[in-house]
Amino acid sequence: MPYDTTTCEAAHAKCGELLTEALANHRLRDKVLDMHVKLKEKMCFFPAAKKKHHHQRGGYIIHVKEVMELMHGFVTAGYGMGHVGLADAMLAAYVHDIDKLERYEQVIQEPASQKQIDYANNLQIPSAHTYTKQALSALIEHAKNGTPVATEVEFNYTNIENCHIETVATVTTILARYGIDLDNTVLHAVCFHEGGWAPMARVSYTEMLPIATLLHTADMISAKIWGASWLPPITRN
């Protein structure tokens, strides 16, 4: 099911709070917070992945909030052993997937019929009238059989292989529009946040710095446990 508007807006606000705290005296504070406001609509609309985690509409901001909260906990608990500052940790967590805001596009599909919408409303599917025929069919099946929606049919994703632009190049391009130039330490963390799956890990013998290791760990917990599409819903504080 898609994340509701209230949940997404609360997640966006929480990210803003974490950034405000961590960047209190940082040179990029105002520019990052300005970008956060201007990208709110996209952040609260797009998914974090196409089908494996946080694949619903609004999943992007939920995933980013989870990764930021995990990184905040890791650093304040001393897991970085003094090698990771809170400002760098929050920046890395905040921008690690920001390229997805440009790689996703909404698929224009056949609109749902009124009969389908009425049926979905009877199943108490929220905002049924806003979905395409294909998306609403998937949500109806979810509501009927109780299993997770296997894929988010509303979105296409342009990946590295078919657009020939490496992820971090897209990240830095987006940030440059807002006058944000990240330090090399933060860029390193973004480059290696996917661990051994990262393109850089396949061609470089560079060791992952502590900040990259913590970011990869936070990313995996959020993607593979908290927001994994194949696991049943869980309740967390």
pLDDT score of 103: 86
CA distance 12 to 103: 20
> Above 90 in pLDDT, residue 156?
no
pLDDT score of 3: 78
pLDDT score of 164: 57
* Closest listed residue to residue 11, CA positions, set 51, 66, 49, 48: 66
Q: Please, what is the average pLDDT of the chain?
A: 87
Quick: pLDDT tens for 126-153: 888 888 787 788 788 888 886 655 444 5
- What ranges do the domains of the chain cover? 5-104+168-226, 112-154
Written as six digits, the tokens of 135 are 């998306």
Quick: pLDDT tens for 174-194: 999 999 999 999 999 999 998
Written as six digits, the tokens of 14 are 């929480």
> Above 90 in pLDDT, residue 86?
yes
Q: Can you tell me the mean pLDDT for 197-223?
A: 85
> Above 50 in pLDDT, residue 90?
yes
Amino acid in the structure at residue 211: I
SS3 annotation, the chain: CCCCHHHHHHHHHHHHHHHHHHCCCCCCHHHHHHHHHHCHHHHCCCCCCCCCECCCCCHHHHHHHHHHHHHHHHHHCCCCCCCCCHHHHHHHHHHCCCCHHHHEEECCCCECCHHHHHHHHHCCCCCHHHCEHHHHHHHHHHHHHCCCCCCCCCEEECCHHHHCCCHHHHHHHHHHCCCCCCCHHHHHHHHCCCHHHCHHHHHCCCCCCHHHHHHHHHHHHHHHHHCECCCCCCCCC
pLDDT score of 108: 65
pLDDT score of 152: 47
Quick: pLDDT tens for 41-74: 999 999 998 878 898 889 999 999 999 999 999 9
Written as six digits, the tokens of 134 are 């294909």
> Above 60 in pLDDT, residue 159?
no
Quick: pLDDT tens for 108-123: 667 889 999 999 999 9
CA distance 76 to 203: 33
CA distance 191 to 200: 7
pLDDT score of 151: 45
